[in-house]
Amino acid sequence: MPAYEVIKSIKINKPTAEVINLVADFKTWPTWSPWLIMEPDCPITYSGDQGKEGSGYYWKGNLVGEGKMQLLERSAVNLDMALEFIKPFKSKAVVGFQLNDLGDSCEISWIMKGNLPWFLFFMKNMMKLMIGMDYERGLKMLKSLLETGEVQSNLELKGKQTQTLQYYIGLQSEASIKELPELIPADFGRLNTYFTEKNIEPDGAPFSMYHKMDMKTGISQLVNCFPVKVPIIVEPPFICDKLPQGNTYVVKHTGKYEFMGNAWSYAMFAARNFKVKLRKQPVGYENYISDPTAVDSKELVTEVVLFTR
C-alpha cells in the first residue's frame, strides 16, 4: 500500500510540560483540531484516564467521518498515538508529537505516518499536501489556545447563495499563504489612496478574489478589490473588471484572519460532502464584512465565497 509521512512544527511560548499535558488530553482537541472545528457538534466518546497511556476518543460525524485515536506511549517530550479511520474509507496511521524543550518555550512537531488503501494510490501526494495544511492550521490553533487561552475562529455554513453582478477596481497579485496577511492590507492601502485621489466611492466591502490556488507550491493568484457601481477607466497597475452574476457557496468566519484557512477548508470539505460542484477558476473570494480597524478581532467577520457550476 502507498506509504506517506507528514511532519509540521511550530514554536509555542509555553513550557514543554504544559504543552504536552494539553495535547495528551483528548478533551482539548475539539478546541484546536483542524477537523473537529468544522463540526463542533460531532458526537465524541472519550475513554480511559485522559492524558495517560491507553486513553482515547472516538468520533462519528456527518462531515468529519468516523474514526478513533488512542494514546499508546507517553514521555516528557514525546506522544505516540494510534489513529484509525473508519469512514469515509478504512485506513490506519501512526501519529506522534515530539517536543524540543527550549526552556520557557518549546518547539512541537506533529507527525503522521500511514498507508493509503491500494485503490487510492493516486491520492498519495494530494493526501500529504492536505494533511500538511491541516496540521499547520491545527498547530496555529494549538499555539493560540496555549498562549492566549482561546482560539478566535468560529465557522458557519451559509450554503448556497446568489452572486449579483458586481464591478470592481483591483490590483493583481501573486503570493504564498504566509505572504498574504501582509500583501492584502498593503494592496488595500494602495487602493484606498487611489480611490481618494480620484474621488471614487466604493460600493460595499472590499474583497480578495482568488483566480488560482496552487496546492503544490502554496502560491495564489489573486486580485484585491474595491467594489464600484459602474465600470471606470483606471490607470495601470489598477484594473477594472466584474464579478458576474451566478451561484455561490458561502462559509462565514468570525475571528482572527490568521485562522481563515479554517473557513476555506470547511467550505471545500462541505462542498464535497454535500456534492456541490465548484468551478476551478476563479476559485472564489474572501469578502471582508468587518473593518479590522473598527472591531475587535473576536468580532471580525469574513466570508469565503466559492463559485459553483
pLDDT band at 2 (very low <50, low <70, confident <90, very high): low
The DSSP secondary structure of 88-106, one letter per residue, reads SS-EEEEEEEEEEE-SS-E
Exposure string for 137-156, b = 16+ CB within 10 A, e = fewer? bbbbbbbbbbeeeebbbbbe
Whether residue 209 is found in the same domain as residue 240: yes
Report the pLDDT value the prediction gives residue 44, as an integer from 0 to 100: 97
**Cα–Cα distance between 210 and 188 in angstroms, integer?**
15
How are strands ordered across the β-sheet holding 106-115? Answer: 3-12, 106-115, 91-101, 78-87, 66-74, 56-60, 44-47
pLDDT at 121 over 60: no
Q: How far is CA 33 from CA 29, 66, 87, 218, 262, in A?
A: 5, 15, 18, 22, 10
Last residue of a domain, one of 151, 176, 198: 151
Pair 210, 282 in one domain:
yes
- As a whole number, the mean pLDDT across the chain is 92
Cβ neighbours of residue 43 under 8 Å, at least 6 residues apart? Answer: 59, 60, 61
Q: What's the CA gap between 306 and 122, in Å, rounded?
A: 26
Residues 107 and 218 reside in one and the same domain: no
100 lies in the same domain as 181? no
| pLDDT at res. 124 | 52
Q: Which set of grid coordinates corresponds to residue 217?
A: 507550491
Which tens digits make up the pLDDT trace of 133-186? 999 999 999 999 999 999 999 999 999 999 999 999 999 999 988 898 899 999
Burial tier of 162 (Cβ tally within 10 Å: 0-12, 13-18, 19+):
exposed
Boundary (domain end) residue, out of 103, 128, 151: 151
Question: Do 208 and 302 belong together in one domain?
Answer: yes
90 and 203 both lie in a single domain:
no
User: What is d(CA 148, CA 152) in angstroms, rounded to the nearest whole number?
Assistant: 10
Round to whole Å and give the CA distance between 106 and 19: 8
Q: pTM for this structure?
A: 0.91
Same domain, 180 and 281: yes
Q: Which of 103, 127, 151 is at the close of a domain?
A: 151
pLDDT on residue 129: 77
CATH number at residue 124: 3.30.530.20
Give pLDDT, residue 209: 96
**pLDDT tens per residue across span 206-264:** 999 999 888 777 789 999 999 999 999 999 999 999 998 999 999 999 999 999 999 99
pLDDT over threshold 60, residue 118: no
In the chain, the percentage of residues whose pLDDT exceeds 90 is 80
Nearest C-alpha neighbor of 94 from the set 3, 209, 8, 194: 3
Q: Which three cell numbers stand for residue 216?
A: 503544490
Same domain, 221 and 113: no
**Domain span at residue 165?**
158-307
CATH code of residue 256: 3.20.80.10
Are both 98 and 139 inside the same structural domain?
A: yes
High-pLDDT (> 70) share of the chain, %: 95
Domain count, the chain: 2
Beta strands in the chain (DSSP E): 3-12, 44-47, 56-60, 66-74, 78-87, 91-101, 106-115, 153-163, 166-176, 207-213, 219-228, 238-243, 246-255, 284-288, 301-307
* Digit-coded pLDDT (tens) for 89-114: 788 889 999 999 999 999 999 999 87
Note whether 101 and 72 are same-domain residues: yes
Q: Residue 73 and residue 188: Cα distance in Å, rounded?
A: 50
Shared domain check, 178 and 40: no
Residues 177, 274, single domain; the answer is yes
Q: What is the pLDDT of residue 216?
A: 72
